[in-house]
């Protein structure tokens, strides 16, 4: 594999790439856009900082590209949408500079609460203005954190140490995660309308650009304090200036800007109750070293097919959460593949239901695995990155439902596909034994137990004698061995569901013979 290191990162990180067998490292610092288009033609991964831009044109020029890794947090120099369409993982390294950025954010919050910057300038000028610089206290205030990733979580932790109530907004924040962090899961509107302090820790995207605009400021509390150590552009600077000048915002702090650096005559530089720093979030010795090492480790893991960490266009969990959900991922992919092959024509909805203890986990990666499995037989170049988009482009809605209990299983993952005509097929699976082996345990409400590592012959047949024998003889004549079988009878309807695990796929002649049997209502060969 070829790894392009497009910007300077820690030499230790570069050495990590070089130490991997089969990895070739290309160091091309300061390449022009034209040079970059030529270099990326056969690269598998790009490691960069903020200088190199990975545009849609770059992605298109790199057919082998699998991973783009940012040594740092901000990824506004990467076209994430183009990368996602191409199935390219985009990751950053929030861990390496997490503490540095969280500490800077809290420094800004303290400086916006107690005007120490202004007081220091006054002292330097020879004045003694005690009454002029009366501040406030963090104690008992409500902090709204926009973006509850690692940095947001660290800021929330420090705020709680100051006896602040924390409201957390993040599209990917689960109730269980919020509870673990001691944070009240909130909507964006709830944060805007109820917080005394607001800090942003989100990437700059089409959805987050000017998230805090004139309308948002108008709905905030009078005297609110606002801070941004994430990405410039999340706050509408013109609206912030107006809110500061009107007194709506009592104080603010910025480490990032819409244009960097701000113009020498920028109005931002003229406001006394606005503290400015020159993009110092990751500017500690420890952070600079860490992000280079982290990006190399993460990219190596992803390229070797291991767990993907800190991805921005697919689910990404901390190591503990990943370890908890990992055993279910194979099951999920198999359920998706099974449901697609069993589905009626014209599927318009996939409903994923979780029952039991698994509902306590972040199931989004599992839902992605199910969607990836659904697409396996009908689409090329599918991975967790682009599976949701590909599903949506097929006109298929995806829904997740969680329930704490199930009548028969401690844990169950169920995938239901629904056609435009209202027909449904439902497949359920779980993990069994000490090895947590994935099993198919329900088909349309019928109890079965089937391996997920096999070719399956699935029948709906009249519950009459001779069917098993007929299938055995037919497959035997076709030289297809039956490894296992599972039968489920429905006394009320007079039908049975039969599943045969096969060592190989039956021939067309054998399939035709099975289909023509008068007692067999439906059959499918499922390739797992």
**Catalytic residue chosen out of the listed positions 150, 177, 225, 231:** 231
Does the active-site annotation cover 517? no
- From residue 175, alpha-carbon distances to 98, 195, 354, 473 in Å are 23, 19, 16, 54
Q: Tell me phi and psi for residue 495, to 5 degrees.
A: -115, 160
**pLDDT score for 492:** 64
**Catalytic residue chosen out of the listed positions 114, 279, 406, 517:** 279
| Helix extents (H) in 304-418 | 319-342, 364-375, 387-393
Does the active-site annotation cover 231? yes
Does the active-site annotation cover 210? no
**pLDDT score for 325:** 87
**pLDDT score for 332:** 96
Angle between helices 319-342 and 364-375 (to 10 degrees): 30
**pLDDT score for 318:** 63
What's the whole-model pTM score? Answer: 0.61
pLDDT per 10-residue tile (average), the chain, 528 residues:
96 96 96 96 95 96 97 89 94 86 96 95 93 94 94 96 96 89 96 97 91 97 97 96 96 96 94 95 85 95 85 76 85 96 94 93 91 92 88 94 81 95 95 91 92 91 91 95 89 81 94 92 90
Domains defined for the chain, CATH in brackets: 2-96+287-303 (3.40.50.720), 98-276 (3.40.50.720), 314-449 (3.30.1330.90), 454-528 (3.30.70.260)
**CA 475, CA 479: separation in Å to the nearest integer?**
6
- From residue 152, alpha-carbon distances to 71, 173, 203, 490 in Å are 19, 11, 12, 54
**Catalytic residue chosen out of the listed positions 137, 260, 286, 399:** 260
């Amino acid at each position: 594999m070829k790894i392009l290191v497009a910007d300077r990162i820690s030499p230790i990180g570069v050495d990590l790439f070089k130490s991997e067998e089969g990895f070739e490292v290309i160091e091309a610092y300061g390449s022009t856009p034209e040079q970059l288009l030529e270099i990326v033609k056969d690269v598998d991964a790009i490691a960069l900082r903020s200088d190199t831009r990975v545009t849609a044109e770059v992605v298109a020029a790199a057919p082998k590209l699998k991973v783009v890794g940012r040594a740092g947090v901000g990824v506004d120099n990467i076209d994430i949408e183009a990368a996602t369409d191409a199935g390219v993982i985009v990751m950053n390294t929030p861990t390496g500079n997490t503490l540095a950025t969280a500490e800077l954010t809290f420094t800004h919050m303290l400086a916006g609460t107690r005007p120490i910057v202004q007081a220091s300038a006054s002292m330097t000028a020879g004045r003694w203005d005690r009454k002029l610089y009366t501040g406030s206290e963090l104690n008992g205030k409500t902090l709204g954190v926009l973006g509850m990733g690692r940095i947001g979580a660290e800021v929330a932790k420090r705020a709680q140490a100051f006896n602040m109530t924390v409201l957390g907004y993040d599209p990917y924040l689960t109730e269980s995660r919020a509870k673990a962090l001691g944070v009240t899961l909130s909507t964006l509107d709830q944060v805007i309308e109820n917080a005394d302090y607001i800090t942003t820790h989100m990437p700059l995207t089409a959805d987050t650009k000017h998230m805090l605009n004139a309308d948002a400021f108008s709905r905030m509390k009078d005297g609110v304090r606002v801070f941004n150590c994430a990405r410039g552009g999340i706050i509408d600077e013109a609206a912030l200036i107006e809110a500061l000048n009107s007194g709506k915002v009592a104080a603010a702090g910025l480490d990032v800007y819409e244009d960097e650096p701000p113009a020498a005559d920028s109005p931002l530089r003229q406001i006394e109750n606005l503290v400015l720093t020159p993009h110092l979030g990751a500017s500690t010795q420890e952070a600079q070293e860490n992000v280079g090492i982290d990006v190399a480790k993460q990219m190596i893991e992803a390229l070797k097919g291991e767990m993907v960490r800190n991805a921005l266009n697919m689910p990404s969990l901390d190591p503990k959460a990943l370890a908890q959900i990992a055993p279910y991922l194979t099951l999920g992919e198999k359920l998706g593949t099974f449901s697609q092959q069993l589905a009626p024509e014209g599927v318009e909805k996939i409903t994923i239901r979780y029952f039991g203890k698994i509902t306590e986990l972040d199931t989004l990666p599992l839902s992605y695995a199910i969607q990836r499995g659904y697409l396996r037989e009908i689409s090329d170049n599918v991975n967790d990155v682009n599976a949701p988009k590909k599903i949506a482009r097929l006109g298929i809605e995806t829904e997740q439902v969680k329930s704490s209990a199930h009548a028969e299983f401690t844990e169950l993952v169920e995938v239901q596909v629904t056609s435009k005509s209202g027909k449904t097929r439902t497949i359920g699976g779980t993990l069994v034994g000490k090895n947590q082996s994935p099993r198919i345990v329900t088909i349309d409400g019928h109890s079965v137990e089937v391996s997920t590592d096999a070719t399956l012959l699935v029948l709906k047949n009249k519950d009459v004698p001779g069917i098993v024998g007929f299938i055995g003889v037919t497959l035997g004549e076709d030289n297809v061995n039956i490894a296992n079988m599972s039968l489920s009878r429905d006394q009320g309807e007079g039908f049975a569901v039969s599943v045969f695990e096969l060592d190989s796929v039956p021939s067309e002649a054998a399939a035709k013979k099975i289909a023509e049997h008068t007692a067999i209502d439906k059959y499918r060969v499922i390739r797992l």
